[in-house]
Structure 1
Amino acid sequence: MRVAIIYHSGYGHTERQAIAVRQGVEEVDGAEALFLRVEDAERRWSDLDTADAIIFGTPTYCGGVSARFKAFAEASSNAVMRHAGWQDKLAAGFTNSGSHAGDKLGTLVQLAMFAAQHGMHWINLALPPANNSATGSEHDLNRLGFWLGAGAQSNVDASADVTPPEADLATARHLGRRVAQTAQQFARGAAKACYTLPGNGQ
């Protein structure tokens, strides 16, 4: 089971989030993470064709994906879309910005639309919003309250050594585990379908 993680990081904060996603994937038995910056991914289209799932990551700049990630997305239209190489793969996304909200939802929507253009199946975060009550905490998973993917917040005057905070990294690990586990479920379902064709006695 191979899960690719493709990301762009301008200052290292989103890369730290991407590493946490990879850790989550690798916590699932039988799952292998293919970890690629967008620059490297553009030279490895055939490797991406072998992935069962692809998780996309980018910082949120000006309310959307970074220009470098957008260049990768546009390059995929010629390299992948014409032969439907990613069709029916699973997809998910994560993003980071300096503000708690920071228009990150706009970025996640762009990532989900990009996946849809390739015919992929989008996997959501599957965590309730947290840190939204008197008993909530900045240490809760999904403390920023996103549904569509994993969001992280990094103070603009702090280095990637100290931010995003652990709660956001734990949320990213959750996303990696969820995608890997869902990919395994899809694979088991596909294998079972092969043994339940009409006339085989099943």
Structure 2
Amino acid sequence: MSKIVVVFHSGYGHTQRLAEAVAKGAGADLVAIDAEGSLPEAAWASLNAADAIIMGSPTYMGTVSWQFKKFADASSKAWFTQAWKDKVFAGFTNSASLNGDKLATLHALFTLAMQHGGVWVGTGMLPANTKAAQRDDINVLGSFAGAMAQTPADASPDEIPAGDLETARLFGQRVAEVTERFKR
């Protein structure tokens, strides 16, 4: 069994809800980046020991939150020793707008993974892009690079569309499956 860690920042609870769905699908441990952008030492040890790291951040102003960026910058300690080289990586995000420049956030997560020498896993899901598609369908936002969700700015974390949560769960499951194959 692979050891998978979901490391995320959540400003209002929406990204945490997605992280929980991803972790459920992946059988992963959750590591939350706090409001100051910090992690306890035990969390760093967990990331270093992981076979796969799934990263999550809300999309704020077209990229990751400043708290996630602080974590990314602090990960340079692992970069110097190549501690995360050849790990499996993946990422997810949420924003209030249908587009909201979420792809820019996924690109930031992808770039971080590549700088660490990681192997990136996308969703592997076809989009729900027909006239019959409904908001609660799987991958209705049509993302291939990582899981995306959209929650209106005035909606609570409990109001994330069921399809986005299921997309996140299935995404976590895919990362776990790829990680197992990669470990062989």
Q: Is the 2:25–2:169 Cα contact (8 Å) retained in structure 1?
A: yes
TM-score, scaled to structure 1: 0.86
Identify the match of residue 31 of structure 2 among 25, 31, 36. 36
Q: Percent identity?
A: 46
Identify the match of residue 134 of structure 2 among 134, 137, 147. 137
CA positional deviation for 1:138: 1.4
Q: What do you get for the CA RMSD once the two structures are aligned?
A: 1.1
Q: Partner residue of 1:194?
A: none
Q: Partner residue of 1:15?
A: 16
2:67 aligned with 1:68, yes or no? Answer: yes
Q: Deviations over 1:57-80 (max 9, x none)?
A: 000000000000000000111x20
Q: Is the 2:89–2:119 Cα contact (8 Å) retained in structure 1?
A: yes
In structure 1, the residue corresponding to 2:94 is in which secondary structure?
Answer: strand
TM-score, scaled to structure 2: 0.94
Q: Partner residue of 1:187?
A: 183
The correspondence of residues 115-134 of structure 1 with structure 2, limited to 5 A, is 115-130=113-128, 132-134=129-131
Q: Which amino acid aligns with 1:93?
A: G
Q: Deviations over 1:158-185 (max 9, x none)?
A: 11122x1110000000111001111111
Q: Is the 2:5–2:46 Cα contact (8 Å) retained in structure 1?
A: no
Q: Which amino acid aligns with 2:53?
A: I
In structure 1, the residue corresponding to 2:157 is in which secondary structure?
Answer: coil
Q: Is the 2:7–2:33 Cα contact (8 Å) retained in structure 1?
A: yes
In structure 2, the residue corresponding to 1:110 is in which secondary structure?
Answer: helix
Q: Partner residue of 1:199?
A: none
Q: Partner residue of 2:111?
A: 113
Q: Partner residue of 1:96?
A: 94
Q: Which stretches of structure 1, 4 residues or longer, exceed 6 Å deviation after superposition? A: none
Q: Partner residue of 1:50?
A: 49
Unaligned runs of 5+ in 2: none
CA positional deviation for 1:150: 0.2
In structure 2, the residue corresponding to 1:63 is in which secondary structure?
Answer: coil
In structure 2, the residue corresponding to 1:133 is in which secondary structure?
Answer: coil
Mean CA deviation greater in 60-69 or 38-47: 38-47
Q: Which amino acid aligns with 1:62?
A: M
Max radius of gyration: which structure? 1
In structure 2, the residue corresponding to 1:21 is in which secondary structure?
Answer: helix
Q: Partner residue of 1:172?
A: 168
Q: Is the 2:5–2:29 Cα contact (8 Å) retained in structure 1?
A: yes
Report the Cα distance in structure 2 between the residues aligned to 1:41 and 1:90, rounded to whole angstroms. 21
CA positional deviation for 1:42: 4.9
Report the Cα distance in structure 2 between the residues aligned to 1:183 and 1:125, rounded to whole angstroms. 13
CA positional deviation for 1:46: 2.0
Report the Cα distance in structure 2 between the residues aligned to 1:38 and 1:14, rounded to whole angstroms. 11
CA positional deviation for 1:16: 0.4
Tell me the matched-pair count: 179
